[in-house]
Structure 1
Amino acid sequence: MMGRALSAELYGIRHRGSFTVVSVVWLLQIVLFAYLANYIVSLTVAELPADQIQAMKDGLAPSAVAAAVVGSLPMYGGPVMIILGALIGAGDERSGMLRTVLSRFPERGRLVAAKLVALTALILVLMAVTFVVAFLCGLAVSLIEGTQWSFPSLADTAAGLGAAWLIGVAWAVLGFGIAVLTRSLAGTIAIGLLWALVLEQALHGLAGVATVLESVRPALLSGASAILAESVGSAGAMPAGTPDAGVPVAIVVLSVWIAVSAVASAIVFRRRDVA
């Protein structure tokens, strides 16, 4: 039963244009913000110290793709992942297909599990494609600059891809959970954006003046994401600075967010009246 449900979910992801559009938006963010904007700044802002300009260019090298990709997730990658989760969590509600889906797959727990597995697979594929796009951007910069370049090491790539996948899944499953709770795609996107761009960023900012909030920062999705981003070489992933906690703490925090969001989604969906 779950295998059929998973196949149906993966088919829907492949054939719904909204997933492609959101994924392309994320890839464009990498190209424009992580590479093009930084490269233009390194060329045009003369007031920057020479060592800072060189550090910016070094961060655009093909060997630094892990830092570029993972460092993009805490700020503007999280909201995109929330939208992907919302599309899977509320897509059937929006199209009015939920009752039809439940008639084919009446075991709701397995249906939720299939949706979550499909979501994690989508994030894995998207992050792998993102690494390829980032590498090509870095290669283009190196060719323009006429500098030596090298492939990233296998260990750095694996660590970066794993970190990007875990961060992406944590944000996406949160979006899925909000979608199951609200039954509204638009509502989920609004709540998710407010959470990621307003609430969490406000808490990070307030921690600078209210030190009691400093201990809260590692427990936030963006805080744990920034810790992992720094561990793969990304500097400045958070404007307020990276929370003072280790990588194991960040992994546990992200895993807890995933588990809580997934379990809450399953409980709510199993009890839902769709008549």
Structure 2
Amino acid sequence: MTFTTRFAPSPTGQLHLGHAYSALLAFDMAQQAGGRFLLRIEDTDTARCTPAFEAQIYDDLAWIGLSWETPVLRQSDNTAAYETVLERLGEMGLLYPCSCTRGDIRRAASAPQEGAPMHGPDGLIYPGTCRHRAWSDRSDMDAVRLHMARAVDHLNTLPQYTETGVHPALTLTRAHLTEEVGDIVLARRDNKTAAYHLSVVVDDAAQGITHVIRGEDLATATPIHVLLQTLLGLPTPTYHHHRLIRDETGKRLAKRDDARAIALYRSEGATPQDIREMVGLATG
């Protein structure tokens, strides 16, 4: 099986040194394995994604020396595939519609009888307010949630996965998934698009991704993805969660850190080799 990996940025801001490290590492690992490097544009956040930021992604990545296969998969062009998978999971009895707002969830989670609010990979763990609703009750105003307890019970045994990066593989257990992850959103109510956990699983399978190379901040999402892959009969890639590029205070870089944007370094006269040295991937 050919080593196949991807870099999947969202066009919601300028790429910074952290993005450069992730993209360069994935590209280098693919080159060393004689494999494939793909680019995916995760642009389902229509309120924040812009054509200008997408164009700059292509420009920045080409400037630091990366090349990729075309055409590039853009998630905004792939909504039919996500809806097909949603319908499949819904027919399996594993989804339910949810009309709760973020404010509703905060208030329910902080109610005195509920104790201290718990946080999972997606923030506050959903308290289950709409869990009683049937999939057939879904309307255009609803988000879609995975009924985690049913999803876990649907499988005879919980799957595991291989991790080769800095974060050890997490063991999938019923207690962890139901109590510390909860009923995650698979489609958002704000713009009727697939949420990250669903789209990334569908796209990785469609693109034949064998190795997922991404930051360790996403390691806690991996059990969700492995569970969805197993429920859908999709292959589970090898995961490689890498270290994060941090600022002087130890905080990981964010897209608002324009002072560390690739385009800014370029405008100030930096070279692609300088960028590699900055992120610790210098070549000889």
Shared fold, TM over 0.5: no
Q: Which has the higher strand share?
A: 2
Q: Which has the higher helix share?
A: 1
* Superposition TM-score, scaled by structure 2 size: 0.32
* Superposition TM-score, scaled by structure 1 size: 0.33
